Structure 1
Amino acid sequence: MMPSAPLPRACWTSFISLLLVCCLLPPGTQGQEFQLRVEPQNPVVPAGESLLVNCSIDCPSAELISLETSLLKESVGSGLSWAAFHLSNVTGDTQLLCSGFCNGSQMIGFSNITVYRFPERVELAPLPPWQPVDERLILRCMVSGGAPRDHLTVVLLREEKELGRQPAGKGEPAEVTVTVLATRDDHGANFSCCTELDLQSQGLGLYQNSSAPRKLRTFAMPMTLPRLVVPRFSEVETSWTVDCTLDGLFPASEAQVQLALGDQMLNATVVSHSDTLTATATAKAEQEGTQEIVCNVTLGGESRETRENVKAYSFQGPNLTLREPNATEGTTVTVTCAAGPRVQVTLDGVPAAAPGQPAHLQLNATAKDDRRTFFCNATLEVHGVILHRNRSVQLRVLYGPKIDRAKCPQRLTWKERTMHILQCQARGNPNPKLQCLQEGSMFKVPVGIPFLVRLNHSGTYYCQAASSRGTDILTVMMDVQDRNPIAITIVLAVLTILGLVILVAASVYVFGVQKRRDIYYVRQSSTRLPLAPKQPDEAVAVELS
């Protein structure tokens, strides 16, 4: 191995002379039985360290023991057959040559110094801001410094998993690459590289240096465009909803969405679920004409954009008005329906003369017109589509109270102690108050609710409906009949007496039948006694069983 620094001229001279001497020595003189030892033999030392070298000959008459090296050396001691030297600032691999003489013969010995140093820089090259899924990713690790290179290995890692390893090589800086296929699972994973300086064969250890980790972000952007849902038509100054959806995004939560109406950016609410992203906003056109809605979705430096047109129109009205919302009966009422330009209005089925012109209707208000509803229909053509809008208004006519003769009979015949309802109704605007009072006594009979009819309800009633617009009176005759007249009482008395007679006759009949059904037994005389004549006045003993 070549020395790492040029030798001084004096060293070169002695070194060349020594080599010539070795080459010119007779073969017999170099094959002596004595040996020259260099210790340590082939040492491995850290860069910049010092080293103590000992040259020794096991010859009892050794002399002129010396050390040839390109390093700075200092003699630190010598003896009969040895010499020690201190080498300082060992920075590179070099060879040591010890020489000496034994019985006039020159002896030489060699030792190779190996210097090791840790890499000054181990760095993973910056990863792309976003890496497409299912595409190849090249990982590069740069290593500056480090020796010996033939013992230096570079390892690339995903988290703790080894992706590949290669020797560092001789370049400066050394660059090691590994190609992997990016997946969704790699999103958010840390990648790094490390070096391994393996000096275990030299009796040392395995030394590792690691780079700072770098986080990878992977993404998937579909080729399809976002689905933009907007209305075809929109009225000026009227808010409407914009929906934009894109499927197949990964990671959908990190995508950026922009919704715009012309040059106006919309305040969108973005929601992501799995691989689907949805943005919703509220838009409003401020002037007529065609407005462009744009939805732009950006992820990983790629974007997908959809544009749709919304036709903004102005549809004013219709405005439906009554000159007198509360008209008095008999007055003239005017109804007007009007709308904006290009709008055709129709009032109660009668169209206006031309688009943009109002429609009128006049009538003489009557009681039948109270609560009458007028309808106005407005139509506007927007790019071949007919749009409709309706309005309605109700007319109130003020008129005096009127009792409905059909629902309030003028003559009633009822039975006493029965439940009935006096069905009388009155109409008017404002609503009248209806009450029925008995003539003379001013007794009030309930109206519209059930009540128990008595004899004193008979008579003539004046039913009066009154309001601020006047009064209306209807006479009702109520005839209440007694439920128990004298004939009925006599019939009931006769029936009662007849029932008592029948009850008595039935009792006598039942008693007589029971008597006839009794049983009698006659006591017979003994057969042992003689027969005697019967006395006329002798009673016959009868024993009732």
Structure 2
Amino acid sequence: MLHNVSEWNSSVQCYFHCGSSREKERAEVIAYRRLDQPQLLLISPVKLGHAYNLSCFVPNVSPVRNLSVSLRRGNLTLHTATFWGHSQEKLEDVLVTHKATAQLEDHGQSITCQAVLDLQPYGPLFNNSTAQVLEVYDFPDPPTLTASPPPLQKTADIHLETGEELNLTCSARSAIPAANITLLMDGEPLQPHSGDSWSVGVVGLLWDQPGKHTLNCTVTVGPEKRSKELVVHVYEFPTPQLHVSTDVPVAMQEVSGRCELPGGHREGIELQVVVGQSALVSWRPSPLPFTLQVKEEHDGSELRCEAKVEGRAPKWSDVVRLNVSAPPHMDDQLCPPTHTWTEGQEVNQWCRARGKPNPVVTCHKDGTIILMQQPCIVSRNHSGTYWCNASNALGTTGRSITVRVEYWDINVGLLVALAVLAAVLVAGGAVVYRLYYRKKKIRQYKLQKEQQRLLALGDFSNGAAAAPNGSGPGAQP
């Protein structure tokens, strides 16, 4: 029995006597140490297409020459190392390394390091292994953070009206494997709903107060981490307010006013003032002062203020309907300076005036007042010069008008002579007609009698035949 062996490699000699002779045998004694668990040194995860080292470390091995170390990926042996040329005289640490390139199909494969210390047939067989899962990743493109509604301008910032909902989706669709995605708002995590393996999102974000907020999407794939940010500007797009100095102006009066937005609105909102269908002051920032030279034709027109911002429907202020007052006004079209009438015709409103309130028009001639609202039948007494006034609450105006009436007197003697002549002509015509009618009827009667006589006699022996109207051959007219 050998005890307390202290040499890793020694020779043992055995002497024995047989009779008078002395013999010896020699044997090599190799000490070993139980094989420790190998340590797999794998840098994982590994970027797709990049080279990486598979390293396996086996400490305190003896005898090393009996050791073999294999590196496998899945069922495929990548590399096996042996150490037959090493001495047997000490403990040794063994490091086996193999270089490989990360492929997409390598992701999720088991990387195994197997260490075998084979002392057979004179000693035991030690077989230890360790394994890790290989992670292959790829993150070629940055994450995308999309919003609905999308940004209104070419910048990445988002402008939202208070109370308007925002939906966010953060995606890393080019990442391998599925990424770890975190959504933050102003540094605080949001609770996203699950999208798919490459995206997450939140819906229904809204703010009821104006302000500025930062939305952050952080995507982690393997050791790489990338972020995408959006800045959300929450603003109010209020209804514009219209102020005017008066909504009951007088014609030719200058009306002033102002269109403005209350505080808290976003930049970029523009205003314009419209009267009727025409722009009074075109698009400018708030506040927007204006002046309007009021005319009679503006009466009933709507004065309003419009606000617009890119990507939003315009908003309108309350409408101010202009109620324009005007003093009386008379011109040649409304009240012509001369009139020519025919006696007996009916005339109505032959002098009018424009104004608001509607003017009352009266005309005077020889102390007689004529109201223009009432129709009248023209007589020759209407000829002459009139002075016509138009009055309303804002004033009075007037003008001179000349009226000429055309008429004809009736000649009674001529009418009687014409009547007698007409009677004589009628009587003479009646007598002539009577004579013509009687002569024609008598002739027809005689012809009929002669025909009847000839037919009664039956005198057709000479081939005579009745002719039309009872005449026979050779009959004389």
Task: Please tell me the TM-score bracket, short chain as reference.
Answer: 0.3 to 0.5
With the length of structure 1 as denominator, give the TM-score of the two structures: 0.41
With the length of structure 2 as denominator, give the TM-score of the two structures: 0.46
Choose between structure 1 and 2 for higher RCO, CA contacts under 8 A separated by at least 6 residues.
Answer: 2
